[in-house]
Amino acid sequence: MNDLFLDRLIDLALEEDLGAAGDITSVALVPADQLGKAELWAKEEMVLSGLEAFAHVFARVDPRVKCELEASDGDRTGPMQGIAQLEGPLRALLAAERTALNILQRTCGIATAAAKAAEAVKGSKLKVIDTRKTAPGMRSLVKRAVRDGGLQNHRFGLFDGVLIKDNHIAAVGGSITDAVRAAKANAPRLVKIEIEITKLEQLEEAITEGADVVLLDNFDDARIAEAVKQANGRVELEISGKVTLERLPILAKLGAAYVSMGAVTHSARAMDLSLEVQTIRPRR
Amino acid sequence: MNDLFLDRLIDLALEEDLGAAGDITSVALVPADQLGKAELWAKEEMVLSGLEAFAHVFARVDPRVKCELEASDGDRTGPMQGIAQLEGPLRALLAAERTALNILQRTCGIATAAAKAAEAVKGSKLKVIDTRKTAPGMRSLVKRAVRDGGLQNHRFGLFDGVLIKDNHIAAVGGSITDAVRAAKANAPRLVKIEIEITKLEQLEEAITEGADVVLLDNFDDARIAEAVKQANGRVELEISGKVTLERLPILAKLGAAYVSMGAVTHSARAMDLSLEVQTIRPRR
Amino acid sequence: MNDLFLDRLIDLALEEDLGAAGDITSVALVPADQLGKAELWAKEEMVLSGLEAFAHVFARVDPRVKCELEASDGDRTGPMQGIAQLEGPLRALLAAERTALNILQRTCGIATAAAKAAEAVKGSKLKVIDTRKTAPGMRSLVKRAVRDGGLQNHRFGLFDGVLIKDNHIAAVGGSITDAVRAAKANAPRLVKIEIEITKLEQLEEAITEGADVVLLDNFDDARIAEAVKQANGRVELEISGKVTLERLPILAKLGAAYVSMGAVTHSARAMDLSLEVQTIRPRR
Amino acid sequence: MNDLFLDRLIDLALEEDLGAAGDITSVALVPADQLGKAELWAKEEMVLSGLEAFAHVFARVDPRVKCELEASDGDRTGPMQGIAQLEGPLRALLAAERTALNILQRTCGIATAAAKAAEAVKGSKLKVIDTRKTAPGMRSLVKRAVRDGGLQNHRFGLFDGVLIKDNHIAAVGGSITDAVRAAKANAPRLVKIEIEITKLEQLEEAITEGADVVLLDNFDDARIAEAVKQANGRVELEISGKVTLERLPILAKLGAAYVSMGAVTHSARAMDLSLEVQTIRPRR
Amino acid sequence: MNDLFLDRLIDLALEEDLGAAGDITSVALVPADQLGKAELWAKEEMVLSGLEAFAHVFARVDPRVKCELEASDGDRTGPMQGIAQLEGPLRALLAAERTALNILQRTCGIATAAAKAAEAVKGSKLKVIDTRKTAPGMRSLVKRAVRDGGLQNHRFGLFDGVLIKDNHIAAVGGSITDAVRAAKANAPRLVKIEIEITKLEQLEEAITEGADVVLLDNFDDARIAEAVKQANGRVELEISGKVTLERLPILAKLGAAYVSMGAVTHSARAMDLSLEVQTIRPRR
Amino acid sequence: MNDLFLDRLIDLALEEDLGAAGDITSVALVPADQLGKAELWAKEEMVLSGLEAFAHVFARVDPRVKCELEASDGDRTGPMQGIAQLEGPLRALLAAERTALNILQRTCGIATAAAKAAEAVKGSKLKVIDTRKTAPGMRSLVKRAVRDGGLQNHRFGLFDGVLIKDNHIAAVGGSITDAVRAAKANAPRLVKIEIEITKLEQLEEAITEGADVVLLDNFDDARIAEAVKQANGRVELEISGKVTLERLPILAKLGAAYVSMGAVTHSARAMDLSLEVQTIRPRR
C-alpha cells in the first residue's frame, strides 16, 4: 500500500544525496547495464523495523531492483544475520544504498530502544508510550518502529487527541474546568481529552470535569503515588518528564497506567547494518 | 536566503504533525486572534546549530511570528540559557513548537557531538570528518551542524567527489589502476578521486595512478601506521571504520590526515531544549 | 492515459483523509495481507461519469487493487445496478473507498443533472452549455461529466476563449468596438471572441466588429427574442443568467443558439452510490 | 496561519483555470498596471464560511491585492449585503475571481445547509454531525463550514477515531467482542472506539466490551427508540442512514445523542454570491 | 502577478544548480551578511524579454534582493547598455546569477529572432507566427518573447485551438469532411478549427466544411499562390514547413495570411548579457 | 533508473502543453481505444543524445506506449535514418509527440555542436569543456549531451567544485592568497579549487597557494601562451571567454589544458527530427 508522505521523504532524501548530477562515481565506473546483487546484514542484535521503506527506496531509484525480505518488522535478529536479498542494476543498488540504510538504521534503532523499554516494565501494568519527538518527516516510520518494539503509541500528531497544556488553560482564563468543558464542546467527535497538571491539587477538578486522561508533568515518585491513590481508578494517569530506562522499573510500581518517554524516539542509537553489494557479470 | 530543500522538509514535517485537520486542541481552546510569546531555553550545555531552520518553521506556520535570536550557530551555551524570543499568534506558536524543536534538538545534538570529537583530536593534525549517514531530508542541516561543532565535512552527496569502493573496482574488472584511470577520464572536472583499499598492498598502486585520497577501510592501528609510513606524504590518507570517541586520541597519533566518523551524525543524542510559551492578553 | 492534474487532486484527497497516520481502524483490525473484494452499486437512477477516476483512486492507494468496470461513462443505470467489481488488499479497499466515492457521487450527479437539462431542450436547436462554476481541482472531471450527460462545454478555463465582460470594456475606455478590436489584435490565433452585452443597443456594434459570439447577460425573454431577430443569424447568441431547468423549454423557443447554466455544475445533488466490501478468506 | 493543504488546493484550482497560458482576455485588453477594485455581495440569505480562503486566492494570484472583510465566518447575511472589499491590479482581480467564488459559494452553501439542520433539532438534545462525504481536497474547508453553520464534526478523516464497520468485524472473524478488543489494544492512545451495528441484538455486546459510541445503521424509528431504551445511557448512540431535513424533528424525539447527515456536505446547493469588479483609472 | 508554472521552472533550475549543498564557493569565501550590488548589461544589440522572470529568480533565492529595471520587455537596446540594478546579500546575487541569465539570454534571443522575422515581412500583410517548438517548461516565457519581438502567437498548447493533422483525418476514416464535422461537434465552444492539407485538391473540401484556417503543409511557392487564388478570401491560409528568414520576403508576396516558423523558438541564438557584481562593504 | 529532476521537468512540460483541458483535437477526433504506431526519424546528420528522456515522455503520458530504440546516445546518424519505433494508444502518441521532440531536438543539437568542437581540437591536447549556460531545468540532459558529443563536463553546478571569481576575491579583501586559503579551509573535502585571473601577474600567486586550476579570463592568444610558459605545468590552465568554433584550432596550439565554451550549450541549433505517426486499425 502506498504511503504518500513516505514517498515524499524518500524523494527528498534521494534528491539531496544524488542532486541532478547523480552518482558520479558509478557513472564514471559502472556500465549502465551492469547487474548486481546485494545482501543486507544486521551486524549486531536488534529488533527490525522499516523493512518496507528500505525496499521502497531501491524501487524508487529503479523499479527493476527486486528485494526479497528474509525477516519481518518486529523480528529480533542475532548479530551477522541476513535480512534481505536484492538484485538489479548495479548503479541503482549503489545509488540507493546509503539513503535506504539511513532510514533503516534509525527505525531499527528505535524499535530496539522501544523493546528495551518494554522489557523494563514487563510484568507490570505500566505501559510505556512514545511522544511526538520524532525526526522531521519520519513520523509514521517512527510510530511504527515503536510498535514493532512492543510499545504503544501516544498521539500521532496534533489532530488525533486533545492534550491540554498550561498554555491552553491560560488561554481560556486559567480554569481547568473551563478548559475541559471547552475541549468537550469543540473537539472532534471521537477523540479523548487529556489534560496536563503540574500540581496535585488540580487532579480532582480534572476528574470531576470528565477528562479522559490526566498527565502528571514532572511529578516525583511520591507525588505520582499520591495521585494514583487519589484518582483511585476514576481516570487514566500518564507519567511524563525525565523518564529514563533506569527509572522505569521504579515507575512501574507506582500504579499509573502510562508513562511517555521521549528518548525512545529522539535519541535512539542507530543500529549497525550493512549492505554487501556484488557485481554480477553481465550475460553477454 | 531560501533553502528549497529545507522548505520541503519543513512542509513535510508540518503536514505530518498537523494533517489537514490541524491542531485540534488549540482550535478548541485558543481564540484565533490570541497573541502569545515564547522563550527558547537550552536546558543543558550544548553547541548550537540550526537556529535559522528553527525560526523558519514558525514563519512557515504564520509569517506574523517574529523570532529574535539571542545566540548564534556555533555558540556554546551553558545550561538554562535563553536562546531566542518569539512573539505572534498563540495558535501558530503552539502549532510550530514541536516541529521546530524536533529539528533543533537534533542539530544541536550533532553540533555538540562534533565538538566533542574535535576536542578529542585537538592539538593533533588529524581532522575528524563526517559521513553521509544522516537522517533522510536533513543532509544540509546536519552538514552545517558538523561544521558548527568544529569539524569538516566529507562529501555532501554522491555528486561532489568520486569515492571508489570495492564494488566499483569489481565493476571495472578488479584493477585499481583501471578504476582510477576511468574515474579520471570520466569524472567531472573539479572533483577529486578517493579510493578505498582493504589491503596495504593496494596502496602503492593507488598512489601511482594519482588518486587524491586513499581510504583505509577498517585498518587496525598498526596497519594505519604502516600505511602512513609507506605513503610518506604522497597521498592523503583517511581512516574509516569502527571509530569511537575513545579511539580518536590514539588515531591522532598515527599520522593520517583524516578520520571519518559516522556516529557524530547517525547516533548523536538529542539535546534538551524547551520552549516556554505564554499567553499575551489581547489588547481589547 | 495519465492526467497529471487529476493525480494531484487524488493525492490531495487521499492525504487529507489518511494523513500520515493512515486508516487506524484497518491497521488495528485488518491483517496487512487480508484480501477483499467489493462491488460498486448505483442505488438510484443516474447517468454515469468519472469511472476511471474512481478506479484510479484505488490504484493509487495500492496498485494491486484490480477494478473491472461493468458500465461506461455516459451510461444510464437503473437503481440497484452493479457498476464495477474490485479485488485487492482489504486495507487498500477500505482506505480508498470514501475518497473514490466522494469523486464519483459528484461526477455522476453532474452528468445526471446535465442529462436533465439536455432532455429539457430536446428537439429544439438550443444547446445548453456549462460554465466555469466547478468545485476547485475538479474542472476536467466536471467538464467531462457535462459531456457524458449530453451537453456541450463552454470555455474550459481562462485560456481557451476570449470572453469580454463589462470590466474589460471599461478597461479599454468603454467602447465595444475598441474592445473587440484589441481582442482580435492580441488574442491567440485559434480562439474565438465572445462579448457580453447588457443592453440591446450594444448588439449591432458587436456584430459589426466581428465578434464570434454575443452573450446576452440577464436578458428577459422578450429582449432575447428581439436580439435574435436583430442578429438575424449574423452572430451566435448565448443566453446567460438565472437559468433554471424549468425555464429551459421557454428559452428553447426564442431562437438563440446557446444557453449557459451554472447550476448543472455548482449545485448538482450527489448521487447515491455504495461500495459493498467483503472479506476474502486468505488462502492459508 | 498558513494551511498547507488548502494552499495546494488553491494552486491546483488556479492552475486548472489559468493553465500556463493565463487569462488571455485580460492580457489582450487590460494593461498590466491597471488597478481595480471589487465588492463581494451575498445575493441571497446565507450563513458565511470560507472568507479567509476566498481572500487567500486573490493573495496567491497577486500579493498586492488587498481584501478587507466586512463580515465573518458564521455570520448570517441578508440578501444584497456587502461582504468584502478588494483592491489591486485589475488583471489579478479578474484572474482570481472565479476560483475564489467557486470555493466560497460551496462553503457558504454548506454552512447554510448546516444551519438549517441545526435549526431543525433546536431545543432537543440531538446533535447533528457531518460525515466524510466532502468534495476532494476541500475537507478542512467543509468541516469548518459545518461548524460555522452550528453543527459539530464527526471524524475528520480515517486517523482521528476508530469506526468499526461490518467489514472490520468480518476481518477479525465476525465477533463484536473481538473487534472492540482488538481496537482497544491497537488503536492510538487518545481516540475513541465507535462500532456500527445493524441488528439490535448486537448492542449489548458492544456496550459490554466498552465501545465509546454505537452507530445504528439504517435503523427505523422504532428500533432506534428501542436501542435508546436498552442502552439506557451506558453508551452514546449515533443514528445514521437516509437522514433528511424533514426527518430530523422526528429523530430528535427518540433520545439518541447524535445523528450523522451526509447531505449537508455532499449535496448542499451553492449560494449566490457575486463580485462586482470595477476599473480604477490609473493615476497617470 | 504570480505565475505558478514559472515558479516551478525557477525552483527546478535553482535546485539543479544549487542542489542541497548550495554554492560552496560563496559559503567558503563570502560572509553571510555581506551585501553586494550588480548591474545587468546587454553586450550586443537585442530586443529585451523576460525581465520579470530574471528579477524573480533573485527574489526566489532571497526576497531581500531588490531589482530595479531600467528597461522594459520589448525594448531594443544598443550594445553595452545597462538594463537593471540589483542590490542585496552578495551570496544571493551570486547564487541566482547563472540561473537568471540562463533564462534571460534565451528569452532575449527569441525576442531578437522574432524581431528579425517581423522586419523581414514588414509592409506586407503576411503575419509570422510561432510554433509549440519551445524548450520544456519555458512555454509562457517563449510565447511572451515572441510577442515582445513583434510577432503573434499560434496555439499556446494542445488546448486552445483544434489543429487537425493527417493522423486525425486517418483516425476518422480519411475524410476531411468527417474530420471537420467531428471537430465542430466535439470541440470546446470558443476555439477555431484549423486543418492541415498536403494536396491542393483538399482545399475546397476544407473550405466547404467551414474550417476556420487551412494549413498548407510544405507547399512550394507556386502551390501556395494557387491555393491563395483558389481560396479567394473564403478561409485563412497558413504556410508551414522549411521557413527561413531568407524565404520570408518571397512568401510575403504570395498572399497567405500567416506563416509559422519554428526556428524563432527552437534555434534562436542566446544573447550576450552579463551581470557585473560588486561587493558592498558592510556598514560595520 | 529514475531521474527525479528530469521527471519534474517532463511533468512541467506536459502540463504546460496539455493543461487540465488536454489535447482537444485528439479528444474530438480520435477514439480513446484507437492504437497507433510511430517512427522517429533523423532528417539531417547529427549525434544522438536524450533518447531515454524522449522515450520517458511517452511512458509518462501513458505507460502502455512501448518505445524501441534503434540507435543509442552518442551514435552519429545519417540523414533520414530511423531511430526509434513506438506503439501504443494513438491519443498518447499525439499528446506526447511535441514535448518529446522539444527535448530531443535540443539534446541532439547540443551533442552535435559538441562533436564539432571535439573535431576542431582533435589531435591536440586541448580539451573543450562546457559551462553552466544551460536551459533551465535541462542541466543533466545537457551535460550528458555534451559528453555524448565527445567533450568533457566542467562543474555540474555550484556544488561540485570551487570556482573563485573576482567577486569572491573582493569579498575576502582583494587578496588571491587569502581567497585560495579560505577556500581550502572551508570547502568540502573532495572538490578542487579553481581561480579566475584577469591579469598575468596574478598567476604566480595562484600557483604558489596551490590552486588546482587557473582560469584565464578573456586572455588574448599571446597572453595565453605567456601564461602557459610561466605555469610550466605547475597548474592546469583553462581558457575562457569569446571562444568560437573557428578559434579552437588556434587555441589548441597554445598549450593550455582546457577551454570552456558556452555556445555549445546556450546556442546550439535544434536538430531536425520528426515523428511519423500512423493509425493502427483496432482489431474489432
Q: Average pLDDT in the C169-193 region?
A: 94
Q: Do C154 and E212 touch (CB under 8 A)?
A: no
pLDDT at res. B282: 60
Q: Do A258 and D189 touch (CB under 8 A)?
A: yes
Q: Average pLDDT in the A146-167 region?
A: 96
Catalytic residue among D23, D75, D194, D196: D196
pLDDT at A268 over 50: yes
- Give all strands (DSSP E) within chain E, no chain letters: 35-42, 46-47, 66-69, 76-77, 81-89, 127-129, 162-164, 193-197, 213-217, 236-240, 258-260, 273-280
**Chain B residues touching C14 at Cβ < 8 A:** none
> What is the H or E stretch that residue A244 is in?
none
Q: Average pLDDT in the C193-199 region?
A: 97
For residues F168 and E30, is the Cβ–Cβ distance under 8 A?
Answer: yes
For residues E208 and E235, is the Cβ–Cβ distance under 8 A?
Answer: no
User: How far E77 CA lies from chain F's nearest CA (Å)?
Assistant: 20
Q: pLDDT band at A275, cuts 50/70/90?
A: very high
Binding-face residues of B in 157-176 toward E, CB within 8 A:
157, 159-160
pLDDT at D73 over 70: yes
**What confidence tens digit (pLDDT) does each residue in E150-201 have?**
999 999 999 999 999 999 999 899 999 999 999 999 998 999 999 999 999 9
pLDDT at A283 over 70: no
**Chain C residues touching B21 at Cβ < 8 A:** 19
pLDDT at A213 over 60: yes
Alpha helices, DSSP H only, in chain D? 4-18, 24-29, 51-61, 90-120, 139-148, 166-171, 176-186, 202-208, 221-231, 248-252, 263-266
Nearest residue of D to residue B92 by CA position? D1
Q: Give me the residue from C18, C159, C179 closest to D24, CB to CB.
A: C159
Q: Do C36 and D167 touch (CB under 8 A)?
A: yes
Cα A96 from Cα A62, distance rounded (Å): 9
Binding-face residues of C in 125-154 toward D, CB within 8 A:
132-140
Chains in contact with C via at least 3 Cβ–Cβ pairs below 8 Å: A, B, D, E, F
Nearest residue of F to residue D14 by CA position? F20
Chains in contact with B via at least 3 Cβ–Cβ pairs below 8 Å: A, C, D, E, F
Q: Average pLDDT in the D123-131 region?
A: 96
Strands of the sheet with D213-217, listed across from one edge: D127-129, D258-260, D236-240, D213-217, D193-197, D162-164
Neighbours of F150 (CB within 10 A): 17
- Domain architecture of chain E: domains with CATH: 3-117+269-279 (3.90.1170.20), 152-260 (3.20.20.70)
For residues E151 and E121, is the Cβ–Cβ distance under 8 A?
Answer: no
**Grid coordinates standing for E171?**
483516425
Cα F227 from Cα F220, distance rounded (Å): 11
Query: Which residue from D88, D80, D83 is spatially nearest to D36, judged by alpha carbons?
Result: D88
Q: Give me the residue from F2, F4, F157 closest to A21, CB to CB.
A: F157
Q: Give me the residue from A129, A188, A212 closest to D160, CB to CB.
A: A188
**What confidence tens digit (pLDDT) does each residue in B141-199 have?**
999 999 999 999 999 999 999 999 999 999 899 999 999 999 999 999 999 999 999 99
Q: pLDDT band at D282, cuts 50/70/90?
A: low
Q: Give me the residue from A152, A154, A190 closest to D192, CB to CB.
A: A190
User: What's the whole-model pTM score?
Assistant: 0.97
User: How far C46 CA lies from chain E's nearest CA (Å)?
Assistant: 23
**Chain F residues touching C160 at Cβ < 8 A:** 21, 24
**Grid coordinates standing for A211?**
477528562
Query: What is the Cα Rg of chain C in Å?
Result: 23
Q: Average pLDDT in the F270-284 region?
A: 85
**Chain C residues touching E5 at Cβ < 8 A:** none
Cα F9 from Cα F142, distance rounded (Å): 13
Mutate to test the interface with E, among A15, A98, A99 (most CBs of E within 10 A): A15
Q: pLDDT band at F284, cuts 50/70/90?
A: very low
Q: Average pLDDT in the D47-68 region?
A: 98
Q: Do B109 and A267 touch (CB under 8 A)?
A: yes
pLDDT at res. D91: 97
Give yes or no for D31 touching E (CB within 8 A).
no
Mutate to test the interface with E, among D8, D9, D10, D18 (most CBs of E within 10 A): D18
Told to judge if B98 belongs to the known catalytic residues of this protein, a careful annotator would answer yes
Nearest residue of E to residue D32 by CA position? E1
Told to judge if D132 belongs to the known catalytic residues of this protein, a careful annotator would answer no
pLDDT at A14 over 60: yes
Q: Do E24 and F277 touch (CB under 8 A)?
A: no
Chains in contact with A via at least 3 Cβ–Cβ pairs below 8 Å: B, C, D, E, F
Q: What share of chain E is helix, strand, coil (3-state, %, to 5)?
A: 40, 20, 35
Task: Give the pairing of strands D258-260 and E236-240.
Answer: unpaired
User: How far D6 CA lies from chain C's nearest CA (Å)?
Assistant: 9
**What confidence tens digit (pLDDT) does each residue in A39-85 have?**
999 999 999 999 999 999 999 999 999 999 999 999 999 898 999 99
State percent of chain D over pLDDT 70.
99
pLDDT at B85 over 70: yes
pLDDT at B239 over 80: yes
What is the per-residue burial (b if ≥16 Cβ within 10 Å, else e) of B60-71? bbbeebebebeb
- At a CB cut-off of 8 Å and minimum separation 6, what does B5 contact? A12, A15, A16, B137, B139, B140, E15, E20
Q: Give me the residue from B16, B171, B263 closest to A157, CB to CB.
A: B16
Query: Which residue from D147, D140, D152, D135 is spatially nearest to D111, judged by alpha carbons?
Result: D147
Neighbours of B87 (CB within 10 A): 17
**Grid coordinates standing for E231?**
481560396
Q: Average pLDDT in the D260-275 region?
A: 97
pLDDT at res. D284: 46
Q: pLDDT band at C284, cuts 50/70/90?
A: very low
End-to-end C-alpha distance for chain F, whole angstroms: 37
Cα C162 from Cα C184, distance rounded (Å): 9
Q: pLDDT band at C47, cuts 50/70/90?
A: very high
**Chain A residues touching D194 at Cβ < 8 A:** 190
pLDDT at res. F282: 59
Q: Average pLDDT in the A133-143 region?
A: 98
pLDDT at D281 over 90: no
pLDDT at D165 over 50: yes
Cα D52 from Cα D72, distance rounded (Å): 9
Query: Which residue from D113, D214, D126 is spatially nearest to D169, judged by alpha carbons?
Result: D214
Q: Do F20 and C159 touch (CB under 8 A)?
A: no
Give yes or no for B20 touching C (CB within 8 A).
yes
Q: Do C188 and E162 touch (CB under 8 A)?
A: no
Q: pLDDT band at B79, cuts 50/70/90?
A: very high
Task: Give the pairing of strands D273-280 and D35-42.
Answer: antiparallel
What is the per-residue burial (b if ≥16 Cβ within 10 Å, else e) of A121-146? beeeebbbbbbbbbbbbbbbbbbbbb
Q: Do C16 and B16 touch (CB under 8 A)?
A: no
**What confidence tens digit (pLDDT) does each residue in F22-52 have?**
999 999 999 999 999 999 999 999 999 999 9
Alpha helices, DSSP H only, in B86-175? 90-120, 139-148, 166-171
Q: Average pLDDT in the B7-34 region?
A: 97
pLDDT at res. B78: 81
What does the DSSP 8-state code read for residue B3?
-
Mutate to test the interface with E, among D8, D26, D33, D61 (most CBs of E within 10 A): D61
Q: Do C18 and D94 touch (CB under 8 A)?
A: no
pLDDT at res. E282: 60
Catalytic residue among D37, D116, D139, D165: D165
Nearest residue of A to residue E12 by CA position? A20
Neighbours of E31 (CB within 10 A): 13
Q: Do F21 and D20 touch (CB under 8 A)?
A: no
Neighbours of D77 (CB within 10 A): 22
pLDDT at A281 over 80: no
Q: Give me the residue from E129, E152, E189 closest to C161, CB to CB.
A: E189
Cα C2 from Cα F22, distance rounded (Å): 11
State percent of chain C over pLDDT 70.
99
State percent of chain F over pLDDT 70.
99
Nearest residue of B to residue A31 by CA position? B171
> What is the H or E stretch that residue D274 is in?
strand D273-280
Give yes or no for E277 touching F (CB within 8 A).
yes
Cα B163 from Cα B180, distance rounded (Å): 10
Q: Do B12 and A137 touch (CB under 8 A)?
A: yes
